[in-house]
């Protein structure tokens, strides 16, 4: 559902400031869902059962489907592309094995296997040898390499592919995608680590855990609501950099103030700043990536862009959960290790944001050097301005 939403916004609102307003709405909704999900899930689980929460999601999806019928689609430009089934299967299998490998660290550890790895009655990897985590990851990497070769071959023959490699020749888009992926990873990872900590160390109920995440929800909503105003006053690059800085400060406050069984007040500063930082940079990163592609590629760019909010939430629980279980430390310390990991990723995201050009075109140029029809009239920059070059 995510890519078409960004396609519709991008084609309906050609200028960056208008896009910022509506990308802010979408990012705010996403952040609200990520932060309020534990609270809603906790209420349903406590009042009914965990199975009822999945039934509720079926109803929500039904409502979304009904609302989607009221959307007026823009006219299709050009022929209808063919679906790349082979690419979809290869990429799905590759990511499946990578995530599955990370999950296995809970049982076998990261480096050396804590116990025998057996299939049936046959021991494949004895205790003390290399962890099977890396066997799964290697299998996933092979399938992803196969996916890459398939894409390159099919694209060279002029066939439709799942994700065009040409899309990744855009420096601005690549850096923007990197910041986006890290944003979703740290957001979901921090929420996951906090929820586990509160329930396992502080023995909070599901409802109380959800309530404690409210400051982060407030921060995300407040920042997303000001997306359009921020875009008018500051460049997209500046907002991403500041967002990562605020997020890093929030994580540092969580590490400095929170202790096992500490009061609610120790969580508020860190979670509030964390939410504000994420809310500030999410919209700007989306804007940078979407605006760096010409209109002719808007049907393809969200496939690249949507990879960030897709793999981030999938890998975050696997990665953070592995740290929480694999790290042998006293109560509360695995949580600190998980937050430190998220802080390191935040600093990497900050570095990528700093590397974004202060003012560079977000277009994809024709290999011959000539502007395409879609980029001839307007070049979008990471500074948030549209410069007429006609």
The pLDDT score that the predictor gives to residue 90 is 92
Structure tokens at 79: 């022929």
What residue ranges do the domains of the chain occupy?
A: 19-47+170-388
Phi, psi of 126 (to 5 degrees): -75, 160
At CB < 8 A and 24+ separation, what contacts does 126-131 make? 131/104, 131/105
The pLDDT score that the predictor gives to residue 147 is 92
Work out the burial of residue 105: count CB atoms within 10 Å of its CB; fewer than 13 is exposed, 13-18 middle, 19 or more buried: buried
The pLDDT score that the predictor gives to residue 364 is 35
Number of neighbouring beta carbons within 10 Å of residue 242: 19
Alpha-helix runs per DSSP H in the chain: 2-12, 16-47, 50-68, 85-108, 132-156, 171-200, 206-212, 214-225, 227-233, 236-257, 268-291, 301-305, 307-326, 333-355
Domain 19-47+170-388 has CATH 1.20.1250.20: yes
- The count of residues in the chain is 390
Phi, psi of 280 (to 5 degrees): -65, -45
Helix or strand holding residue 119 (H, E): strand 117-119
The pLDDT score that the predictor gives to residue 294 is 58
How far apart CA 283 and CA 310 sit, in angstroms, is 16
How many alpha carbons lie under 13 Å from residue 22 in its C-beta half-sphere?
15
Query: What is the dihedral sign for C-alpha 230, 235, 236, 237?
Result: negative
Strands 117-119, 386-388: parallel, antiparallel or unpaired by DSSP?
unpaired
Q: What tens-digit pLDDT sequence spans the chain (390 residues)?
A: 777 777 787 777 777 667 767 777 777 777 677 667 777 877 888 788 888 888 888 988 999 889 988 887 777 666 777 888 888 899 899 988 988 887 787 777 777 787 777 777 777 888 878 888 888 889 999 999 999 999 888 888 888 787 777 767 777 777 878 888 888 888 888 888 888 778 777 788 777 777 788 888 888 878 877 766 776 777 778 888 988 999 999 989 988 888 777 777 888 888 899 988 888 887 777 777 766 665 555 455 455 555 555 555 565 666 666 666 555 545 557 777 788 888 888 999 899 888 887 754 333 333 333 333 333 333 333 344 333 333
Phi, psi of 114 (to 5 degrees): -75, -20
At CB < 8 A and 24+ separation, what contacts does 74-81 make? 74/8, 74/11, 74/12, 77/296, 81/160, 81/299
Distances (CA, A) of 295 to 15, 75, 291, 374: 12, 13, 9, 6
Work out the burial of residue 53: count CB atoms within 10 Å of its CB; fewer than 13 is exposed, 13-18 middle, 19 or more buried: middle
């Amino acid at each position: 559902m995510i890519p078409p939403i960004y396609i519709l916004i991008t084609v309906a609102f050609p200028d960056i400031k208008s896009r910022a307003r509506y990308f802010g709405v979408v990012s705010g909704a996403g952040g609200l869902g990520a932060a309020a999900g534990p609270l809603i899930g906790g209420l349903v689980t406590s009042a009914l059962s965990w199975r009822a929460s999945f039934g509720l999601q079926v109803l929500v999806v039904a409502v979304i489907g009904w609302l989607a019928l009221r959307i007026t689609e823009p006219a299709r430009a050009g022929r209808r592309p063919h679906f790349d089934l082979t690419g979809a299967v290869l990429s799905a299998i590759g990511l499946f094995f990578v995530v599955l490998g990370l999950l296995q660290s809970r049982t076998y550890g990261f480096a050396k296997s804590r116990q025998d790895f057996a299939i049936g009655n046959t021991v494949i990897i004895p205790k003390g040898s290399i962890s099977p985590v890396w066997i799964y990851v290697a299998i996933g990497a092979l399938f992803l390499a196969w996916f890459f070769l398939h894409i390159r071959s099919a694209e060279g023959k002029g066939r439709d592919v799942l994700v065009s490699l040409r899309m990744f020749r855009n420096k601005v888009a690549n850096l923007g995608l990197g910041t986006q992926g890290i944003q979703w990873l740290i957001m979901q990872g921090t929420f996951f680590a906090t929820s586990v900590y509160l329930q396992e160390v502080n023995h909070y109920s599901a409802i109380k855990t959800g309530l404690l995440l409210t400051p982060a929800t407030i921060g995300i909503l407040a920042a997303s609501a000001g997306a359009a105003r921020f875009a008018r006053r500051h460049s997209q690059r500046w907002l991403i950099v500041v967002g990562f800085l605020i997020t890093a400060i929030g994580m540092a406050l969580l590490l400095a103030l929170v202790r096992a069984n500490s009061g609610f007040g120790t969580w508020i500063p860190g979670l509030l700043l964390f939410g504000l930082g994420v809310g500030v940079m999410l919209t700007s990163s989306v804007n940078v990536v979407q605006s760096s592609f010409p209109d002719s590629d808007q049907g393809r760019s969200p496939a690249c862009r949507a990879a960030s909010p897709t793999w981030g939430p999938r890998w975050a629980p696997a990665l953070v959960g592995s740290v929480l279980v694999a790290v042998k430390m006293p109560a509360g310390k695995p949580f600190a290790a998980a937050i430190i990991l998220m802080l390191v990723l935040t600093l990497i995201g900050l570095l990528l944001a700093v590397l974004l050009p202060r003012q560079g075109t977000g277009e994809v140029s024709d290999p011959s050097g000539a502007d395409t029809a879609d980029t001839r009239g307007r070049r979008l920059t990471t500074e948030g301005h549209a410069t007429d070059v006609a």
